[in-house]
Structure 1
Amino acid sequence: MAMGTTAPLAVRMRPTSLDEVVGQRHLLGPGSPLRRLAASSQTAGGGAASGQSVILWGPPGTGKTTLAQSIAHSSDRRFVELSAVTAGVKDVRQVMEAALTDRDLYQRSTVLFLDEIHRFTKAQQDALLPGVEQGWVTLIAATTENPSFSVISPLLSRSLLLTLEPLDDDDIVMLVERAIADPRGFGGRIALDDDARAQLVRLSSGDARRALTALEAAGAHALEAARGDADDDEDDDGDAPVTVTAEALASAVDRALLRYDRQGDEHYDVISAFIKSVRGSDPDAALHYLARMIEAGEDPRFIARRVIVLASEDIGMADPQGLVIATAAAQAVQLIGMPEGRIPLAEAVVYLATAPKSNRSYLGIDRAIADVRAGDFGRVPTHLRDAHYPGAKRLGHGKGYRYAHDAPHGVATQQHLPDPLVGRRYYEPGAHGFERDVAARLERIRRILAGER
């Protein structure tokens, strides 16, 4: 291991050609666009791939920057790298002007790698269009967010969209073993036992950068401990690799930060899985996704709001207590904060996941809103109108109204819906939990309202 370097292990171990790239086999087959791009010559217009811009979309740690840099090493064209975090329109225009000059004066083509393109505004992305459209540059853009939402349509239509997948377990193992053996990495000075290797693969969640970062921390920790032991043991064999155990890995890495971009697709995927797990009455899966959101640093108020919506939308009248518990959990999170707030959140989540389910009240209000928006309504019946403002009684407002508390069973026979909607039913109780009782009671109420006995 090159102890003098300050570059992180993940940077030192970046491939220098596409043949060294691990994973993404579906993008690296013979004749693929990336292969053609890497093989094309520096001469402007020298091949079909030289003008083909590419957008690489995938989760963090799947090789977007690695692919771009590998193409740069494989191709003899000018390579320029910008980050959307720090670059602006001025930087983009400078690259475009230089690329146009190189093309016209030296017949030399330029590859522009733009990292995190989703952070560019529409105006900043517009500045890329002339160069991409006229072929001044071949753009390789990387993003962790869905380009359909984060990249402007004109740029999308002029680029080839390639989707990267999380690395599988075998890919992670290959990367780790390469970093252990390669002189750019540990140079054979450490070894992983089977438990540590399995734990490292789990911790990475398909993210190569996370795997190598954790390996670097664990390896440095193990080597430091071994040096301390060697000072106390004169017979120690300094040439033998230091074995990293699962316990050593755990002590070197504080916690497994799961792959989770709070502003990207993973944010929406995890909250979607969380909601569907509660709706599907699976408390174990619901707690798993809750833990992922908590560990990723998701705003607990966002989680609490989703729990309240779940209580109303998916549990509803099957167990009205669910909304009370969800609201109480949200208030508790506000009062006590995190990390203790995870406890009332977990209680509410387990309660809702194991409660009977009904979406009937949710469907009912949506049906009613649809009718109102479609203009399917009438005037409020005269006997229900306000009779207390001046002149109201002269118009007959309130005349004939029956006070429900004076009627037998507390239900008075009278019409409440406007005339065009008489007989319309928005709420139809389900057959689960408390709603079974509601269904029987509501049927009796509706018969009384209709004047039936």
Structure 2
Amino acid sequence: MQRPLADEIRPKTLDEVVGQKHLLAPGAVLRRLIESGAEANMVFYGPSGTGKTTIANIIAQRTNKTLYRLNATTASLQDVKDIIADVGTLMAPGGILLYLDEIQYFNKKQQQSLLEFMENGSLTLIASTTENPYFYVYGALLSRSTVFEFKAVPPEETETAVLRALDIEKGRSPLPLTWEEGVPRQIATACGGDVRKAINAVELLCQAAVPRDGQLLLTRNNASQLAQRSAMRYDKGGDAMYDLASALMKSLRGSDPDAALHYLARFLEAGDLVTPCRRLLCSASEDIGMAYPQAVSIVKACVDTAMQLGLPEAQLPLAQAAILLATAPKSNSVVEGISAAWADVKAGRTGDVPRELQNVHADSTGMEREQGYRYPHSYPGHWVRQQYLPDPLKDVKYYHYGDNKTEQAARAYWEKIKGPEG
């Protein structure tokens, strides 16, 4: 049976690895550790197809330890115990190097079972994860390991691996193999920094190629069909989703409609309407707020319309909301005000509700004095000076007018009625 192309092309040396120059360039820390033969516990964190398993294999080749592999999605605690049982035996005279893929799927007890042997050096752990290890890996295990972050491989470097794969397929092919100009870059770009996915796309493209004039021609059209949607990295509830949500929110706050539309489109491509709707609704109050108070109702109408329409039509009202928020004047006076007030409440800075504001039924309970509440609508300008905050906080200012046209107009209005100190 023919080996999968991705396995056959897997790099054997650090120089053959594409991408991760920040880790593997001459003089980089990880490269120096590997070349010196250091036996350090490591956690490799990053997207799929970026070289984590490949580099773990290269490290295993440079050590005298016995290599064991586990995938945390299928492994059990017994599998861990079986490996640990080989420590100090003829099965692993030099110790054990355990490569644990997808460590985020191991529970705390399974991760803890490794600690004692990591501590005494009889087991070296190289774990990989596609999720943030500081959220999913047990703290005591992290404290004994060094985290290295792997990044999506840029298209120009992925293309090197694609060309290498095409050369191998030339040798495998029963007919001369050629391709249209731009096919390698198209595959490298469409696969979103996932080298494994790019290599698999090459293999499928070659298998699906139709003979023409005594040769196999790989076309851009076929490459596009095989690689479609491949550039999306999206895992609902995972790091990719939260990164996109953060990027959308910050683009809206930064008044960049182009970036906002880009990140919105990535949510739409993934079929997720809920997450961008929440971010749009939040931004309307958090980032626009009193600078354009009507934004809340407009965005709510857009979100409701989108949820009723569903995809693909939902793209239109959501894009309208994103452009509105990105181009609207900005003010964070709402979030600053409620944050300051809530901080006082959490810290216990409260006090009794002023007598004037208590429920009017208190007047019939024989308390020392009547409520004395002044009804603002009975006074000029519908305002009268009286204390609303509790005594310990009576002079506190939580809300400060923003420097936008709307809030400055409100400030001028109330200064005219209340005076500058109002």
Number of the residue aligned with 1:161: 147
2:285 to 299, 312, 320: 312
Contact kept in structure 1, 2:47 and 2:151, CA below 8 Å: yes
- Find the residue that maps to 2:385 and give its secondary structure: coil
2:246 to 231, 252, 272: 272
Q: CA RMSD in A?
A: 3.0
Report the Cα offset of residue 390 of structure 1: 7.0
Give distance in 1, aligned partners of 2:399 and 2:375: 23
- Find the residue that maps to 1:82 and give its secondary structure: strand
Contact kept in structure 1, 2:155 and 2:188, CA below 8 Å: yes
Give distance in 2, aligned partners of 1:294 and 1:213: 25
Number of the residue aligned with 2:375: 403
Give distance in 1, aligned partners of 2:134 and 2:107: 14
Residue deviations 1:162-193 (CA, integer Å, cap 9, x gap): 23232233321110000000159865954444
Residue deviations 1:27-69 (CA, integer Å, cap 9, x gap): 44679786688779xxxxxxx63x4222212222110112223
Contact kept in structure 2, 1:286 and 1:349, CA below 8 Å: yes
In structure 2, relative to structure 1, the CA distance for the partners of 1:341 and 1:397 (3 Å cut) is: farther
Q: Could you list the runs of 5+ residues in structure 2 that have no partner in the other structure? A: none
In structure 2, relative to structure 1, the CA distance for the partners of 1:257 and 1:29 (3 Å cut) is: closer
Number of the residue aligned with 2:214: 237
Number of the residue aligned with 1:430: 402
- Find the residue that maps to 1:61 and give its secondary structure: coil
Give distance in 1, aligned partners of 2:196 and 2:100: 19
Number of the residue aligned with 1:251: 225
- Find the residue that maps to 1:139 and give its secondary structure: strand
Number of the residue aligned with 1:44: none
Number of the residue aligned with 2:259: 285
Give distance in 2, aligned partners of 1:183 and 1:372: 68
Residue 206, structure 1, aligned to residue 193, structure 2: yes
Residue 130, structure 1, aligned to residue 99, structure 2: no
Contact kept in structure 2, 1:304 and 1:329, CA below 8 Å: no
1:171 to 136, 150, 157: 157
Misfit runs of 4+, over 6 Å: 30-40
2:343 to 358, 370, 374: 370
Give distance in 1, aligned partners of 2:172 and 2:324: 49
In structure 2, relative to structure 1, the CA distance for the partners of 1:19 and 1:282 (3 Å cut) is: closer
Greater CA drift, 57-66 or 188-197: 188-197
- Find the residue that maps to 2:182 and give its secondary structure: helix
Residue deviations 1:299-350 (CA, integer Å, cap 9, x gap): x222212211111110001111111122223333443333433332222111
- Find the residue that maps to 1:145 and give its secondary structure: coil
Give distance in 1, aligned partners of 2:245 and 2:188: 24
Number of the residue aligned with 2:203: 216
Report the Cα offset of residue 397 of structure 1: 4.1
- How many residue pairs are counted as aligned between the two chains? 421
TM (norm. structure 1) is 0.82
TM (norm. structure 2) is 0.88
Give distance in 1, aligned partners of 2:344 and 2:27: 56
In structure 2, give the amino acid aligned to 1:361.
V
Report the Cα offset of residue 436 of structure 1: 3.0
Contact kept in structure 2, 1:39 and 1:75, CA below 8 Å: no
Give distance in 1, aligned partners of 2:257 and 2:29: 45
Residue deviations 1:66-122 (CA, integer Å, cap 9, x gap): 22233445656432111011112111111111233236xx62433211001122111
Correspondence 1:69-88 to 2 at 5 A: 69-73=57-61, 77-88=65-76
In structure 2, give the amino acid aligned to 1:398.
Q
In structure 2, relative to structure 1, the CA distance for the partners of 1:54 and 1:337 (3 Å cut) is: same
- Find the residue that maps to 1:182 and give its secondary structure: helix
Q: Could you list the runs of 5+ residues in structure 1 that have no partner in the other structure? A: 41-47, 231-235
Residue 439, structure 1, aligned to residue 411, structure 2: yes
Report the Cα offset of residue 357 of structure 1: 0.9
Number of the residue aligned with 1:90: 78
- Find the residue that maps to 1:113 and give its secondary structure: strand
Give distance in 2, aligned partners of 1:423 and 1:35: 60
Contact kept in structure 2, 1:53 and 1:158, CA below 8 Å: yes
Number of the residue aligned with 1:43: none
Report the Cα offset of residue 143 of structure 1: 1.3
Number of the residue aligned with 1:24: 20
Give distance in 2, aligned partners of 1:421 and 1:33: 54
Greater CA drift, 315-324 or 64-73: 64-73
Give distance in 2, aligned partners of 1:319 and 1:91: 59
Number of the residue aligned with 2:321: 348
In structure 2, relative to structure 1, the CA distance for the partners of 1:262 and 1:10 (3 Å cut) is: farther
Give distance in 2, aligned partners of 1:243 and 1:448: 75
In structure 2, relative to structure 1, the CA distance for the partners of 1:35 and 1:371 (3 Å cut) is: closer
Residue deviations 1:214-262 (CA, integer Å, cap 9, x gap): 33343333x1xx33xx4xxxxx233xx52422x3322333324323444
Contact kept in structure 2, 1:404 and 1:412, CA below 8 Å: yes
Greater CA drift, 65-74 or 185-194: 185-194
Contact kept in structure 1, 2:176 and 2:214, CA below 8 Å: no
Residue 143, structure 1, aligned to residue 129, structure 2: yes
- Find the residue that maps to 2:361 and give its secondary structure: coil
- Find the residue that maps to 1:165 and give its secondary structure: coil
Contact kept in structure 2, 1:218 and 1:249, CA below 8 Å: yes
In structure 2, relative to structure 1, the CA distance for the partners of 1:8 and 1:258 (3 Å cut) is: farther
- Find the residue that maps to 2:88 and give its secondary structure: helix
Number of the residue aligned with 2:304: 331
Contact kept in structure 2, 1:317 and 1:358, CA below 8 Å: yes
Number of the residue aligned with 2:295: 322
Give distance in 2, aligned partners of 1:361 and 1:39: 55
Contact kept in structure 2, 1:16 and 1:74, CA below 8 Å: no
2:269 to 295, 311, 328: 295
Residue deviations 1:377-406 (CA, integer Å, cap 9, x gap): 43322222211257346443432x222222
Report the Cα offset of residue 283 of structure 1: 0.8
